[in-house]
Amino acid sequence: MNVRYSLATRFALFFTGALIFCILLTGYLVFTKASDVIVSYSKERIDHTSELAEQSFLSLLKEVSDDVAIISSSPVLNNYINSPTQQNFGDIKELFRLTLENKLPYFQIRFIGKENGGQELIRFDKLNDSIFIPDNLQKKGDLDYYQETIQMKKGQVYLSKINLNEEYGTISEPVTPTVRAASPIFNRNNDLVGILVINVDLISFYRDLERISGRESQLLLIDAEGQYLYTPEYQKWFAFQTGKSYNYFTDFKIGKDSVINQASFFGQIKDIQNNVYLCGLRELIYFHGSRKIYLISSIEQDILLQSARAVRSDSLKTSLWVCGFAIVISLLFVNIFSKKIRQVTKAIADYEDGGSTDIKLPTNRKDEIGVLANTFSKMKTKIDQKVSELNVALQKEQHAKNQRDEFLQNMSHEMRTPLNTILGLTKLLGKQSPKKAQIPILSSLEKSAQNLEGLVYDVLDHQKLVEGKLKINLVPTNLVELFTDIHQNYKYEALRKGLSFRLTVDEEINGNSYLTDPLRLSQIVTNLVVNAIKYTQKGEIELQAGLSADISPQLQVKIRDTGIGIEADNLAKINERFYREKENIDGRYGGYGLGLSIVKQLTTLFGGVLSGKSTKGKGSEFILLIPIEKAGPVKKDQGKSKRIAFPLLDKTYRVLHIEDDESTQQLTKHVLDDRSIELKQTKSWREASKAISSQEVDLIISDLMLDDNNLVTSLTDLRKKGKIDCPLLVVSALEPLVMRKVSNHYLQKPFDIDHFKDVVYRILGSNEINPPDFKPFYKNYDKDTSKINRVLELLEKEFLSYSKRIEKVYDIKNQKEYEAISHKLIAHINTLKLEQLQKLLPKEVYQLKETELKKIMNLFNYYQVCIRCERQINSTNQSY
């Protein structure tokens, strides 16, 4: 390019002046950035301060709520209520005195009776660390906290508004900001006899606020009307109660709606002297959302920016004298040449922002501006074309993805729901002592349903495999039993086509169990067997299983057939999804084309290898090699059904079942046929919503698809709003990830009916029996799934053994055997926190009564239910 057209040459003369200008600009930007950093830091500091203050307040409320609940349910108070003897009266007074003595913020504890207009029956006060009983007891029946507390249910705790403590209508001295915690007290007949009240002095909390706020910032507490509940200026406290006119909304220029209509706020506000403050507001909610106060943390902005402004002022004064003249001269010359540059840059900026690009560019110039304008014009044309093509492609892809997801979701629901019913009813029929001639029919029905279940897994799991969402779940497995089941399932199909189907399993495998995923391994082998039967018209099919001769143990499975075979060139393509060697293979050779693709991907997921060889017209052989680990000998009772005992519940529980499939309703009705369960079933979301709103449900069992409507959003919203205050068990054909968003209790269809019943009894039984605490197992075994599963399996057998031994020792009255059982049980009692079991077990077997024995057996039944549920939770990484 000619030098006389070069902008670099023209602007070289003014480089020094431009550099000085940049220095000034940099100084300004540094100040701006510094100010932003200071403000940002201040926001973090305000947030942190507010969070500490909120935690201190909620911690105080939780402490007093817990203390009220503990005292209300204490044996000392219950003994006094039900038997007001002199001894019991002395015990309750001692309890009240110790409570005030050990809790510094508490300055008053009272028991107010229901009779005589809410007359105080027992009262202790604390003043200057001195605890005493006042001379005069008062009537409190007309006060708000008394009226509201007597309307509450047993076990609930009332928390009052914050105000100054008053005695006989006069503010007590010294001034005491107070919050009251109360709970209704009932006698053994569940009749209300009075309330328990603890008055808490908030001065220590206010001191915490003063300490947390520090020197530069300040913390305020106000109510919705702007009354100061706390401010460093104590004379402004509780203006409404003291008859003063102080109010936050008059001291600061901020509207009332700006505070009470939002849970949090950060920004600038001004006081009546126009001082600017950086202010953070946080809403503090307690007593089930019925009490709201507002915590305000603020810092004066001038103090924050004082140092930054001083640096800016000194820098500007120095720089202005040095470069003022140079800047003026530079601006004159730069303005001449920058007009066209601004024209191009504005066009680029507008294009980047998506605005108008009708600006005329100087494309006829021969200098750098002309080159830039021409290059941008060409680039813009290409980008517009590519973006248009990309948008069309993205729309098509998104539409296809939405259609696929909707199809898979609908198919999952439509296929899993009837499958769940078929498998559940088949299992129920098998438990009804069928006739000998009916057993093969039931077995064939169950195997056919399991084959259909396998097809459902094939179709639905393929997309999970593609997206990398499927995981291998290793559990101890009897491989001989697994291969025998596959052989028995497809033996009839082979015989129907006139084929010989042989199974050969190495003796080395027999008698041992191995760690593998039985469902996924069964899918792999089943798909290979189905393909062999499908493409073989005469001859034989052989399934062989054994261990490879390699150093590291591997399971080797061979499936050989005498079918139509595969061309050598097409053998590699057989792993492609939906690929068949001939496009016209339909009818007797028809299929979905998914089988071998899933086999290949599942094999890779195992870390194994799938290979094949075939001769056209003579047959094929597929060889599967996957890593495997020996888990131990096969247990003798493995595979044998055993009678499952469930606990007897004392109360009657109302269970709402939301399901639009009639067969599933009938299955659930049969499974939950129990005198302690009152089952209400509905197909209508309108009826379900009405039942939920009534708050008279102890457990909700719900599908997530009702009349083609997805209930995920509806149920989630009800839980968030607190309208569902009972456990929710989701039973659906949707994916676990979707169900987990609604509830931690979920089962995917098709499910095992015994496990379903376990989950229901575990949830309902927890209202009467404390579930075992399994957390120590997860901690001790570092959340190792296989180890924890083995421990839980052993624990289930031990508890079953203990129950049988206790029944036996009760009959023969053998004290030595009883002590041996108790000695072994004590470790489980301490680890699992089984306090109820510990209380029921006497020291001597002769002290064990029949009623206590029944209760102990019932506890063992419930503990075994919990253990079985925990095994399922552990194996599926689910959480209740």
Q: Three-state SS string across 452-502, please?
A: HHHHHHHHHHHHHHHHCCCCCCCEEECHHHHHHHHHHHHHHHHHHCCCEEE
Give the whole-angstrom CA distance, residue 297 versus residue 294.
10
Confidence of residue 729 (pLDDT cuts 50, 70, 90): very high
Could you give the CA distance from residue 27 to residue 25 in angstroms, rounded to a whole number?
A: 5
- Round the average pLDDT of the chain to a whole number and report it: 81
Average pLDDT over residues 143-147: 91
CA–CA dist 182, 119 (Å, integer):
15
Lowest pLDDT segment from 154-168, 228-242, 314-328: 314-328
How many CB atoms are closer than 10 A to CB 476?
21
User: What would the mean pLDDT of 220-242 be, rounded to a whole number?
Assistant: 90
What pLDDT sits at residue 791?
87
The predicted pLDDT at position 173 comes to: 85
Q: How far is it, in rounded angstroms, from Cα 150 to Cα 196?
A: 10
Cα angle, residue 108 at apex, residues 106 and 111 outer, rounded to 5°: 125
Lowest mean pLDDT among 74-78, 313-317, 373-377: 313-317
What average pLDDT does range 352-366 have in this prediction? 65
Q: Which pLDDT band holds residue 641 (cuts at 50, 70, 90)?
A: very low
> Would you call 648 helix, strand, or coil by DSSP?
coil
Tens-place pLDDT, residues 576-589: 443 444 444 333 33
642-658 average pLDDT score = 87
pLDDT band at 2 (very low <50, low <70, confident <90, very high): very low
Read off the tokens for 441. 């029919």
Q: What is the pLDDT of residue 476?
A: 84
The pLDDT value recorded for residue 785 is 78
Instruction: Quote the tokens at residue 74.
Output: 């204490």
Cβ atoms of 762 and 822 closer than 8 Å: no
CA-to-CA separations, 658 to 7, 32, 365, 708, 752, in angstroms, rounded: 77, 60, 76, 13, 19
Give tens-digit pLDDT for 659-710: 988 888 888 888 898 899 999 999 888 888 888 888 789 999 999 888 767 8
Omega into 174 within 30° of 0, i.e. cis? yes
Position 469 scores a pLDDT of 63
Cα-based distances in Å from 840 to 344, 661, 837, 863: 88, 44, 5, 15
Express each pLDDT in 83-92 by its tens digit: 999 999 999 9
pLDDT-based confidence at residue 442 (cuts at 50, 70, 90) = low
The predicted structure's pLDDT at residue 781: 82
How far apart CA 413 and CA 407 sit, in angstroms, is 10
Contact by Cβ (8 Å): 548, 625: yes
Calculate what percentage of the chain has a pLDDT beyond 90: 28
Residue 174 in this model has a pLDDT that exceeds 60: yes
As a whole number of angstroms, the distance between CA 66 and CA 53 comes to 20
Q: Are 838 and 822 in contact (CB under 8 A)?
A: no
Q: Quick one: pLDDT at residue 400?
A: 72
What is the structure's pLDDT at 55?
Answer: 92
Lowest mean pLDDT among 203-207, 544-548, 630-634: 630-634
Question: What amino acid is encoded at 725 in this protein?
Answer: D
pLDDT-based confidence at residue 497 (cuts at 50, 70, 90)? confident
The pLDDT score that the predictor gives to residue 192 is 94
| Phi–psi pair at 535, nearest 5 degrees | -100, 20
Check: CB of residue 832 under 8 Å from CB of residue 866: no
First-to-last alpha carbon distance for the chain, in angstroms, is: 75
Scan for tokens 């107010």, then name that residue.
Answer: 112
Helix (H, G, I), strand (E, B) or coil at 13: coil
If we measure between CA atoms, which residue out of 565, 545, 564 comes closest to residue 555? 545
Average pLDDT over residues 111-136: 90
Whole-structure pTM value: 0.45
69-74: long-range contacts, CB 8 A cutoff, minimum separation 24: 69/155, 69/157, 69/183, 71/95, 71/99, 71/196, 72/155, 72/183, 72/184, 72/185, 72/196, 73/155
Q: Could you say which DSSP state residue 726 is in? A: S
The pLDDT value given to residue 464: 61
pLDDT at 167: 79
pLDDT digits (tens, 9 = 90+) for 585-624: 333 333 434 557 778 888 888 889 888 888 888 888 999 9
Report the pLDDT value the prediction gives residue 8, as an integer from 0 to 100.
Answer: 45
Q: Is residue 206 scored above 80 in pLDDT?
A: yes
DSSP letter, residue 841: -
Most confident of 256-265, 357-366, 397-406: 256-265
Q: Identify the pLDDT of residue 862.
A: 93
- Give the confidence band of 81 by pLDDT, cuts at 50, 70, 90: very high
Q: Is the peptide bond before 736 cis (omega within 30 degrees of 0)?
A: no
pLDDT in tens, 373-421: 777 777 777 877 887 788 888 888 777 766 666 666 566 556 666 766 6
> What's the CA gap between 667 and 659, in Å, rounded?
11
pLDDT confidence of residue 116: 86
Has residue 799 got a pLDDT over 60?
Answer: yes
Structure tokens at 24: 């000034």
